[in-house]
Structure 1
Amino acid sequence: MRIAILALEGSVLSAIAGLADLFWITNKAIAASPAHAIKFPEKTFETLIVSADGAPVWDTEGRLIHIDSSFQGAGQPDVVIAPGMLLGPDLQPLNLADINLAATWFRKMYDNGALVAASGTGGVVLGEAGLLKGRSYATTWWVSHMLQERYPDAIPARGKMLEEDRGVLTTGGCFSWISLALNIIEKAAGTEVANLTSEMSLTDNHFLRQHLSASPGSIHSGTPFLVRAEEIIRMQNPSINAAQLASALNTTERTLQRKFKALSQETPKEFITRVRIETACTMLISTRVSIRQIARDCGYSEETAFRKAFNQIMEMSPAQYRQWMAARASDHRS
């Protein structure tokens, strides 16, 4: 399987190098296992780091990223991946001309049969390519506002860390490229090889690739006011009410109401409830914590109030959601 990893000015070097390394580790793991080596006598994964013209580009911290090929020289890869990238001070994509060049190439690769994938802010490339339109996509909370604003026809997959919709694979979060790579490895070489790679590279950090928390200092995308509001709800006070949120944001309740309506088409109460329920969805998928404890962790003093809010937003109970997502994961593995 040939995998092209996109590098743009401002790309996150750790994601590019990490993706390449994880596929390299998988090749080594297969070669070292007689049972797997028989099934895959040739090198299973070949990676190329690509830029538009094949020239090196600068990463987020001003270091040069080595490039293996231009878009033209890469031929027709089986998979093309857009890792995360730096956003501007206005929390919007930088270098749109370069992004649109990459988007055109991604669209061509998709039309020719490639699986296209993105992690975090790399979703902008797919959005500019028109590959999110009408599709369900996964992202992380501090990126979601920007993506929804730019691509209103796309469908955010609430509470999911990885989503595939008609040949478009998306994940969210600083280290979500790990989930993305393991999913691709499983597609190409099977569950046993993906598990072997996970064991070799992540050892006991089983949930690392699923739910690493971003530090407040790493938040660099999305609508700033909404991102700050989510940060307060998620990380500081899940049980906060509208008046307390207004105070924490150094504004009045009336101004808070007006801003939320303009930015998210929600009331402050609706916004707070949605953030709580999205957090609950992630916990229901990635932990075995009881529903009662999840309700408390998400700011609900009464479990009945949590269940009612969850049903209203997700149109199923928390227990049904957990079972449904477990069944989907099982179907994917089989």
Structure 2
Amino acid sequence: MKHLTILVPAAQTSFNTFACIGGAYDIFNRANTFRKANGKEPVFHVELAGASEKSEVNNGLLTIKPEVYISSVRKTDLIIIPAISHDFKKPEKENALLASWIEKQYKNGAEVASMCTGAMILASTGLLDGKNCSIHWGSADSLRNLFPKVIVKPDSLITDEHGIYTNGGGYSFLNLIIYLIEKYYDRETAIYCSKIYQIEIERQKQSAFTIFTGQKSHEDEVVKKAQAYLEDNFREKISIEELSQKFAVGRRNFDRRFIKATGNTPIEYLQRVKIESAKKAFEATRKNVNEVMYEVGYSDEKAFREVFKKITGLSPLGYKKKYSKETAVY
């Protein structure tokens, strides 16, 4: 039987930390029960492990006690890192011991999966350098700034690379659990767990859930002014060449600075601003696709549809049907 270690951080916790721990512990054990009921051997011995006697959130409102200390886990096959608090800068207190232990176990053959902001702990080990990483869209900028060698993929729900798995934000950790169950158990067990816990199987993107607020956590004042201009005038026809001249910066240098500061080219940033406005219109008004398209500055339906789907993962009509208050069920 393989060994699954679900880590219990000693500090930097949030309510989502406990949700990830409880969800993973419950669903993996249910997968084992299903296997036994069908005459098969369980795949994992599941343990909660930490570097302290207990972990708590909100001044002890919720407390979890690890079953074992990580020092007693000499060999494990899969490590799950739950989400942590969003104000992470570096591993604090015993969490530094967890990071060191994760690195050692990975080099000893273990696979590692991070949930949401748990990617921060994983990235601090250096194991994500040069690798793709998914995380909650609201923490993507922080991850880029803290760990510039990590290839951040905020649109992806799950990444799977060299025995390292990461996933997006919030309760999408449930999709990662189903993904891992299919990988380690089988398709039948994954489908069973998805039905029991009512988790949508095969979801691959978190794009539709992203709320684009503009990447402003940088120090380039020229780029910040350019961002503000794009956000205030996105309905107009904007020439990026003229925009760079407006701020007295050569076009190539302007593009380079913009990408470094925001992770997007100026054109991509403008597209995201337009599509975010379109999303809000679909959610809150009765306007049809063409009306919204013209409102946000597009005149070519094909181009609008292609950019919308690239950014959200859904067609404009598909998004409208899913999120419009006209189709809401009460």
TM-score by length of 1: 0.66
The aligned counterpart of 1:234 is none
Equivalences, count: 267
Q: Which amino acid aligns with 1:78?
A: D
SS of corresponding position for 2:165: strand
Give, in whole Å, the separation in 2 of the partners of 1:185 and 1:172.
17
Residues 308, 185 of structure 1: alpha-carbon distance in 2 compared, 3 angstrom cutoff: closer
The aligned counterpart of 1:6 is 7
Q: What 5-or-longer segments of structure 2 have no aligned partner?
A: 219-228, 235-242, 279-288, 316-330
Q: Say if 1:6 and 1:49, in contact at 8 Å, map to a contact too.
A: yes
Between structures 1 and 2, the one with greater helix share: 1
Give, in whole Å, the separation in 2 of the partners of 1:28 and 1:279.
47
The aligned counterpart of 2:36 is 31
Residue by residue over 1:14-73, the C-alpha shift from the partner in whole angstroms, topping out at 9 and shown as x without a partner, is 1101110011111222233xxxx23x2x332221111124x1111356321121111111
Offset of residue 93 of structure 1: 3.5
Residue by residue over 1:119-143, the C-alpha shift from the partner in whole angstroms, topping out at 9 and shown as x without a partner, is 1100011111101101112223111
Q: Say if 2:117 and 2:136, in contact at 8 Å, map to a contact too.
A: no
Residues 194, 262 of structure 1: alpha-carbon distance in 2 compared, 3 angstrom cutoff: closer
Correspondences of 1:1-334 after superposition (within 5 Å):
1-8=2-9, 9-11=11-13, 12-32=17-37, 37-38=38-39, 40=40, 42-53=41-52, 55-59=53-57, 62=60, 63-88=62-87, 92-93=88-89, 95-157=91-153, 159-202=155-198, 211=206, 225=216, 242-243=231-232, 263-264=261-262, 266=264, 270-274=268-272, 302-306=300-304, 309=307
Q: Say if 1:136 and 1:163, in contact at 8 Å, map to a contact too.
A: yes
Residues 301, 117 of structure 1: alpha-carbon distance in 2 compared, 3 angstrom cutoff: farther
SS of corresponding position for 2:83: coil
Residues 207, 213 of structure 1: alpha-carbon distance in 2 compared, 3 angstrom cutoff: farther
Residue by residue over 1:153-198, the C-alpha shift from the partner in whole angstroms, topping out at 9 and shown as x without a partner, is 1112353210111111000111122122112211121111111111
Give, in whole Å, the separation in 1 of the partners of 2:104 and 2:306.
46
Greater Rg, structure 1 or structure 2? 2
Give, in whole Å, the separation in 2 of the partners of 1:185 and 1:102.
24
TM-score by length of 2: 0.66
Offset of residue 304 of structure 1: 2.9
Residues 215, 139 of structure 1: alpha-carbon distance in 2 compared, 3 angstrom cutoff: closer
Q: What 5-or-longer segments of structure 1 have no aligned partner?
A: 217-221, 228-239, 246-252, 281-291, 320-334
SS of corresponding position for 1:96: coil
Residues 115, 264 of structure 1: alpha-carbon distance in 2 compared, 3 angstrom cutoff: same
Q: Which amino acid aligns with 1:197?
A: C
Q: Say if 1:86 and 1:93, in contact at 8 Å, map to a contact too.
A: no
